[in-house]
Amino acid sequence: MKEMMIKLETIKDVQKFVGIVERCTFSVDLTSGRYTVDAKSLMGIFSLDLMQPIKLIAHENDANLFAQLEQFKV
């Protein structure tokens, strides 16, 4: 399991982010405050407070995934 703080500032950022994580064969979650959602879910992501940084939790340590997500890192 690996964690990273990210920021999704625009709708395009959210779409690009989901496009990256939906290719993962393992679970990826996003946590904001007390809420945790599936990172592959557009609806779930839009239910979070996107004005604040969000914690990404990948349930496998995939270097390729984290390299692609570097653009969203806070």
pLDDT digit string, tens, across residues 42-74: 999 999 999 999 999 999 999 999 999 999 999
pLDDT > 90 fraction of the chain, expressed in percent and rounded = 99
Q: What is the mean pLDDT of the chain?
A: 96
Q: Which domain holds residue 45?
A: 2-72
Give the CATH number for residue 16.
3.30.1340.10
Confidence of residue 41 (pLDDT cuts 50, 70, 90): very high
In angstroms, rounded to a whole number, what is the distance separating the alpha carbons of residues 39 and 59?
A: 11
Mean pLDDT of 26-54: 96
Q: Domains in the chain: how many in total?
A: 1
The predicted pLDDT at position 58 comes to 96
